[in-house]
A and B are shown apart, each in its own frame.
Chain A
Amino acid sequence: MNQMDHAKKRYDDTPIPEELNGRLLGAIEQFEGKKAASGQNNTGIGKRRYYKWGLGTAAAFFLTFTAALNINTAFAEEVHQLPVVGAIARILTVSSYKKTVGDEKVSVEVPGVEFIQNDTHGLSKQINEEIQEICSRYADESLERAQDYKQAFLDTGGTEAEWAEHKIEIKVWYEIKAQSDDYLSFVVRGTESWTSAYSQEKYYNIDLKSGKLLSLGDVLGEDYINKANDGINSQIEEKSKEIGIPFFTPEEGGFESISDETKFYMKDNGNPVIVFDKYEIAPGAAGAVEFEIKR
């Protein structure tokens, strides 16, 4: 080992104080608090750092699921029918396309929910419109980001040929989490092959008996907040050991309590699984973290 390697080793071995992470998260919190308080919030930086899809964003979209099925024969051929769920509802791919824009590959699979029963209070229409909107918006924005990325790559001396090797892929798809006589639970996801920073997901949990979207309160009962918090707190330590990464402490912005906006999906056994985004309660290396809560 030469002297420089030796010096580097000493550098790499610099002890890291435990409070470092807390100090930085504190600085970020402080900044966001300041922004929010000073009313300069037109930048969109607020307390809520994790972009969430809200309900009701579909107002401008009138392409209904049934209309799409009937009008577009090309895509009707591509419809993959999945098993009918308890003869009450089914989920299927209502449109699916792949396209290549320059070197960028985009693949989109838009799911839709079809209720056999009619009495769903317009829920299926609402959900399907929202999904359509989410999928097309993600694909469009993602493509725009890819173009920006490409421009930056070329501006900083990259060549077209090198860019082509990046294999840029944008994917929008869905996963069914549970389907039983009682509920249908699925997630719509969007991902980009070059960064995980824009990955997005939205969970849908439908109570097939009532034809409504399920809340954690519906699943866990009146005391759902405490029940979920206890379940999570009892698992955090074990999970942290399992993945070998300590979670953020509450002072560092770690887990304190679930809220009505906490994401979850249903398992076939009827238990809800609570999902936290990457960075939400643990360092990024831990990825998204899930907790099954026993009812």
Chain B
Amino acid sequence: MRQENYDKMTGYIIENQKKFYRLAFSYAQNQEDALDIVQNAVLKALDHYESLKNYDAIKTWFYRILVNESIYFLKKNKKEIASGEELGLEIPYYEQGFEPSDDLYDEINQLDIEIQNIIKLRFFEEMSLKEIAEITGDNLNTVKARLYRGLKMLKQNIQEVNL
């Protein structure tokens, strides 16, 4: 049974690799880091494949790892910039505010990470709110509230997008 789950899991990963890459790229915004994120997520999934008790949950299970890996990457990146200061390098402090852009894709990437996740999973990966709640580990109402807040910030008419 373990071998079978393992085989199905590697099959799932290989088949859906492009989707994983697109999501990772949306966070990293460069190819090398996006490849690293996906690769690390896959290695983590393989290491912990025994914790996947039920294969039918593979999608949310794997996306959870992938999203966490992306968040970890973003945080680590921030830290590296910060640690430059300790070395005496002058790095201008740059507060990333929300700047309206012509392109909603760029605007989404400026949102708080928790809101970004939800909007990307909902509209780019077309997942249900229930699936998203499983991935982010929040309850359904939190997910909904964050989604509305995000859309409001993006000035997206809720009627216009298909919830």
**Interface on A for B, CB 8 Å cutoff?**
2-4, 6-8, 10-12, 14, 16-17, 19-21, 23-25, 27-28, 30-31, 43-45, 49-51, 145, 148-149, 152-153, 155-156, 195, 197-198, 279, 283-285
Cα–Cα, bound, A20→B108 (Å): 25
Cα–Cα, bound, A30→B47 (Å): 11
CB < 8 Å neighbour of A28 from B35, B46, B108: B46
CB < 8 Å neighbour of B108 from A7, A43, A148, A283: A7
Cα–Cα, bound, A12→B124 (Å): 8
Q: Is the CB of A23 within 8 A of B39?
A: yes
Q: Mark B102-135, 1 if CB is under 8 A from A, else 0.
A: 0111001000000000001001100000000000
Q: A23-B38, A24-B38, A284-B11 are in contact. Are A11 and B22 (CB under 8 A)?
A: yes
Q: Is the CB of B22 within 8 A of A197?
A: no
Q: Is the CB of B14 within 8 A of A279?
A: yes
Q: Is B13 engaged at the interface, CB distance under 8 Å to the other chain?
A: yes
How many residues from B make CB contacts under 8 Å with A?
39
Residue picked from A7, A51, A197, most chain B C-beta under 10 Å: A7
Q: Which residues of A contact B120 (CB under 8 A)?
A: 11
Cα–Cα, bound, A148→B5 (Å): 12
Q: Is B15 engaged at the interface, CB distance under 8 Å to the other chain?
A: yes
Q: Is the CB of A3 within 8 A of B15?
A: no
Q: Is the CB of B21 within 8 A of A14?
A: yes
**Interface on B for A, CB 8 Å cutoff?**
2-4, 6-8, 10-11, 13-15, 17-18, 21-22, 25-26, 31, 35, 38-39, 42-43, 46-47, 50, 54, 56-57, 103-105, 108, 120, 123-124, 156, 160-161
Cα–Cα, bound, A30→B40 (Å): 12
Q: Is the CB of B26 within 8 A of A24?
A: no
CB < 8 Å neighbour of A20 from B6, B21, B47, B103: B21
Q: Which residues of A contact B38 (CB under 8 A)?
A: 20, 23-24
Q: A17-B31, A20-B18, A152-B56 are in contact. Are A44 and B105 (CB under 8 A)?
A: no
List 30 A-B residue pairs with CB atoms under 8 Å apart, sorted by A's residue number.
A3-B104, A7-B103, A7-B123, A8-B123, A10-B105, A11-B105, A12-B22, A12-B124, A14-B25, A16-B22, A17-B21, A20-B17, A20-B18, A20-B38, A24-B13, A24-B17, A24-B38, A27-B39, A28-B46, A43-B3, A43-B6, A43-B50, A44-B2, A45-B3, A45-B6, A49-B6, A51-B4, A145-B4, A195-B8, A284-B15
Cα–Cα, bound, A177→B155 (Å): 63
Q: A11-B124, A16-B18 are in contact. Are A4 and B161 (CB under 8 A)?
A: yes
Select from chain A the residue with minimum beta-carbon distance to B13.
A24
Q: Which residues of A contact B124 (CB under 8 A)?
A: 7-8, 11-12
Select from chain A the residue with minimum beta-carbon distance to B3.
A44
Cα–Cα, bound, A150→B15 (Å): 24
Q: Which residues of A contact B22 (CB under 8 A)?
A: 11-12, 14, 16
Cα–Cα, bound, A19→B50 (Å): 28
CB < 8 Å neighbour of A2 from B15, B17, B57, B161: B161
Cα–Cα, bound, A50→B38 (Å): 24
